Structure 1
């Protein structure tokens, strides 16, 4: 099959969506299919890569989003897709690209929408004046306009499942178990930021409001008030970085801001070297960064409001509320023997190989044929 994937809000250097697209494309290619990825960029390009053909079309920057671009020229995108003659369309943007479901249906091309975000969660954070009914209407239309809806966790799927959507599948993402490994632990790296008896904590992710990075600062502050010598490493950039740096300095908190790490070896070593990581975002639908941390042998504290508790299992702790709860969760993890907590983290990550994800996505692409053979209730 020629599977044409279209995505918006893909960062030029890193990010969970970029990682997922790359691994899925490489998996499709290895399985004998022809993956094509269309994404926005500053200019136009067309190249063969290890994930198949990647086409970049000009797309404007989204103000205040730290480098995200979107494909807004429907005519240009439509003509590009017509030239590509796809057998399947896979869409990774429920907002500005939802129209592609209708485009594909008019041409008899099966389409799949991959739900990488929770509309329920976004409305809860940014739209308190918008009712759940409005979100349900958007989700119902999205499901009706595409042949398949794919969600990566039960938590992410729940906003569709409660509407009785039958063309719904749950397929988890994966983790690179070779790149992220406990073997990357680096004792010398640890001495750069902390003393031998410090508790070294990592916040790895984009510093933006929806990720709630201030919870990590509050956790460190609460730990130090209770006598725990906690030190926080922040790996990632974003619109809140300056404000967080100023706040940490004003409060005298030992926080080291590393910015965005382009050196993958350094990132892998960091994930394997810290004692605990914090992933405080309340609307995460899967959490690739948290899973990469587990694969590195490091347990994670996550938001109880998000999908991450079902991803981390018993290898981490889900914290409700704000910073003090995260501090208590860190203390809980640190009370476990180090060898046991690191082994549990790695074992949990091994449940999510990329090969399993690729197989699930390919099965979903063929689901329009399976619908004729199985009851609709078995497509979820």
Structure 2
């Protein structure tokens, strides 16, 4: 099977989508399939990589979002897809690439949309009062235009299942259990940011409004007001970085902003060496960074509004509300003996190997191909009774 994957908003250096695309592509190859990824970039490129062939088409930068690009030239993308002759296309953007479902139907190609974001959640944060109704209309259209919708958690699937969409399948993402491991724990890494008496916290993720990074700062402030020597390390970049740095300085909070950590080994060591991580985003549909932190043996406090409570299970805590609720959740985790909380975190992460994700995605592709063949045969029969 030739699987062509098309994605917009792929971070130039890192990010959950970039990680997922890399592991899934490598898994498809290992399973004997052909994998092609089409993404936007500054210029045309066509190269062979460990995740298969990667074709980069020129796409403009999206202003104010930190380097994301999009494929806007529909004719050029459609021409490339016809040249690639896919058996199935995997689409990773529900907004700018939704038209590919209609294109695939006209071309007789199977299509699978991966729901990496929640319209319910985004409209709840930024949309009008009628956001749910708007989201329902768009989600129904998306489901009608694609053979399969893949959601990585039940939380993400709920907005489709609520309106009776029949072609939704749930397939969790995975984690690299070798790269992210408790064995990466490093006393010297910890000593860079904290004394032995400090509680070292980590916020790992993009610093953008929908991720609610101010909740992590507020958690540190609440902990220190309660007499806890909390220190926060922030690994990630984004449009809010300067504002957050200024706010932390004005409030006298011990927050260390690292920016983008480009060395994977360094990031894995950091995740294994802190006491607790905070993932406060309320619209996360899976949360790869949180899962990677669990694999490193560190428990995570997550937003109760998001999908992450499904992912962390009993290895972390879900906080409902703002900073003080996160501080209480951190204290609850610290009350658990360190060896026990780190063992729980690792055990939970081991439930999510990439091999299971690859198998689930491939099964969804095979189902999409079967459905497309059936629909094509039905259409022909109706045209020529």
Q: Judge same fold: TM > 0.5, yes or no.
A: yes
Q: Write the deviation string for residues 262-296 of structure 1: whole angstroms up to 9, x where unpaired.
A: 01111010000000000000000000000000000
Match of 1:111 in 2: 111
CA RMSD, aligned part only? 1.0
What is the rounded CA distance, in whole Å, between the counterparts of 1:111 and 1:211 in structure 2?
30
Match of 1:176 in 2: 176
Match of 1:364 in 2: 364
- The TM-score, its normalising length taken from structure 1, stands at 0.97
What is the rounded CA distance, in whole Å, between the counterparts of 2:303 and 2:294 in structure 1?
15
- The answer to whether residue 33 in structure 2 is matched with residue 23 in structure 1 is no
Structure 2 residue matching 1:366: 3-state secondary structure: helix
Q: 2:112–2:368: 8 Å Cα contact kept in structure 1? A: no
- The answer to whether residue 56 in structure 2 is matched with residue 56 in structure 1 is yes
What is the rounded CA distance, in whole Å, between the counterparts of 1:307 and 1:46 in structure 2?
36
What is the rounded CA distance, in whole Å, between the counterparts of 1:324 and 1:313 in structure 2?
21
Match of 1:67 in 2: 67
What is the rounded CA distance, in whole Å, between the counterparts of 1:335 and 1:30 in structure 2?
43
Q: 2:111–2:368: 8 Å Cα contact kept in structure 1? A: no
- The answer to whether residue 138 in structure 2 is matched with residue 162 in structure 1 is no
For residues 73-88 of structure 1, what are the structure 2 equivalents within 5 Å?
73-88=73-88
Match of 1:377 in 2: none
- The answer to whether residue 332 in structure 2 is matched with residue 332 in structure 1 is yes
Match of 1:255 in 2: 255
Q: 2:48–2:54: 8 Å Cα contact kept in structure 1? A: yes
Match of 2:353 in 1: 353
What is the rounded CA distance, in whole Å, between the counterparts of 2:371 and 2:63 in structure 1?
42
What is the rounded CA distance, in whole Å, between the counterparts of 2:4 and 2:59 in structure 1?
18
Runs of 4+ in 1 over 4 A off after TM superposition: 369-372
Structure 1 residue matching 2:239: 3-state secondary structure: coil
Match of 1:39 in 2: 39
Structure 2 residue matching 1:97: 3-state secondary structure: coil
Structure 1 residue matching 2:172: 3-state secondary structure: coil
Match of 1:375 in 2: none
Aligned residues: 372
Structure 2 residue matching 1:125: 3-state secondary structure: helix
Q: 2:38–2:55: 8 Å Cα contact kept in structure 1? A: yes
- The answer to whether residue 174 in structure 2 is matched with residue 186 in structure 1 is no
Q: 2:28–2:358: 8 Å Cα contact kept in structure 1? A: yes
- The TM-score, its normalising length taken from structure 2, stands at 0.96
C-alpha deviation, 1:189, in angstroms? 1.1
Q: Write the deviation string for residues 103-123 of structure 1: whole angstroms up to 9, x where unpaired.
A: 011111110000000000000
What is the rounded CA distance, in whole Å, between the counterparts of 1:165 and 1:328 in structure 2?
38
Match of 2:377 in 1: none
What is the rounded CA distance, in whole Å, between the counterparts of 2:249 and 2:330 in structure 1?
22
Gap change, CA 1:369 and 1:37, over 3 Å in 2: closer
Match of 1:13 in 2: 13
Q: 2:120–2:131: 8 Å Cα contact kept in structure 1? A: no
- The answer to whether residue 217 in structure 2 is matched with residue 217 in structure 1 is yes
Gaps of 5+ in 1: 373-380
Match of 2:98 in 1: 98
Match of 1:314 in 2: 314
C-alpha deviation, 1:370, in angstroms? 6.3
Match of 1:246 in 2: 246
C-alpha deviation, 1:128, in angstroms? 2.9
What is the rounded CA distance, in whole Å, between the counterparts of 2:238 and 2:8 in structure 1?
18
For residues 264-283 of structure 1, what are the structure 2 equivalents within 5 Å?
264-283=264-283
Match of 1:150 in 2: 150
Gap change, CA 1:344 and 1:40, over 3 Å in 2: same
What is the rounded CA distance, in whole Å, between the counterparts of 2:306 and 2:129 in structure 1?
21
What is the rounded CA distance, in whole Å, between the counterparts of 1:226 and 1:148 in structure 2?
50
Q: 2:110–2:369: 8 Å Cα contact kept in structure 1? A: no
C-alpha deviation, 1:132, in angstroms? 1.2
What is the rounded CA distance, in whole Å, between the counterparts of 2:158 and 2:371 in structure 1?
21
What is the rounded CA distance, in whole Å, between the counterparts of 1:368 and 1:209 in structure 2?
35
C-alpha deviation, 1:371, in angstroms? 6.1
C-alpha deviation, 1:368, in angstroms? 3.7
Match of 1:128 in 2: 128
Structure 2 residue matching 1:176: 3-state secondary structure: coil
